Amino acid sequence: MPLDARFAGLAGVLPAGVMLAMIGYEYTGHPAWTAIAGVLSVAAIAVFSLDAPPSRSAFVVVGLGLAGWAVATRPDWRAGLGTAIERGAFIIALFTALTAIRTAAMSSREIVACGRFLARQPPGRRYLALTLGGHLFGLVLMYGSIALLGGLAAESTAAEPDAEIRRHRLRRMLLAVHRGFAATLCWSPIAFSMAITTTLVPGASWSRAVLPCLVSAALLLLGGWALDTVFKPRLSRPAPPPAAVEPGGWVENLRPLILLLVTVVAGAALLRALTGVEIVGAVMSLVPAVAVGWIFLQGSPFGRSRGAHTASRVADFVTGELAAFRGQILLLFMAAFIGSLGAFVLVPLMADHGPDLTAPPPALIALALLWIIPLTGQLGMNPILAVSLLIPLVPAPAALGLDPTVLVAAITGGWALSGTTSPFTASVLLVASIGRVRPIRAGLAWNGAYMLVMGAALSLWVLILAALL
pTM greater than 0.85? yes
Length of the chain: 469
Least confident of 2-11, 207-216, 247-256, 389-398: 2-11
User: How many C-beta neighbours within 10 Å does residue 441 have?
Assistant: 16
Amino acid code (one letter) for 47: V
465 contact partners, CB below 8 Å, separation of at least 6:
212, 403, 405, 406, 409
Report yes or no on 108 lying in a domain: yes
User: Residue 142: left (phi > 0), alpha (psi -120 to 50), or beta?
Assistant: left
Strand, coil or helix: what is 81? helix
Q: Which uninterrupted H or E stretch holds 233?
A: none
Give the mean pLDDT of 427-444.
91
- Amino acid at position 309, single letter: H
Which of 43, 23, 41 minimizes the C-alpha distance to 33?
23
The pLDDT confidence band at residue 309, using thresholds 50, 70 and 90, is confident
Q: What is the DSSP letter of 345?
A: H
Local confidence band at 36 (pLDDT 50, 70, 90 cut-offs): very high
Quick check: 9 pLDDT over 80? no
Q: Does a structural domain hold residue 237?
A: no
Amino acid type, 303: G
The whole-number pLDDT of residue 1 equals 46
Encode pLDDT of 317-342 as tens digits.
888 888 888 888 999 999 999 999 99
Give CA–CA dist 277/283, Å, rounded.
Answer: 10
Cβ atoms of 177 and 146 within 8 Å: the answer is: yes
| Cα of 372 vs its chain's centroid, Å | 18
Q: When comparing pLDDT for 250 and 351, which is higher?
A: 250
How many domains, the chain?
1
Residue 415 has what pLDDT? 97
The pLDDT value recorded for residue 70 is 93
244, part of any domain: no
Query: How many other C-beta atoms are found inside a 10 Å radius of the C-beta of residue 430?
Result: 23
Containing structural domain, residue 449 = 5-232+250-468
239 found inside a domain:
no
User: What is the C-alpha to C-alpha distance for residues 369 and 62, in angstroms, rounded to an integer?
Assistant: 24
Q: How far, in Å, CA of 419 to CA of 443, rounded?
A: 9
Is position 176 within any domain? yes
d(CA 145, CA 133): 8
User: Which of 153-167, 169-183, 281-295 bottoms out in mean pLDDT, i.e. has the lowest?
Assistant: 153-167
What is the pLDDT averaged over residues 199-208? 91
pLDDT, tens only, 393-431 = 898 899 999 999 999 999 999 999 999 999 988 899 889
User: Is position 241 within any domain?
Assistant: no
Stretch 108-115: mean pLDDT: 85
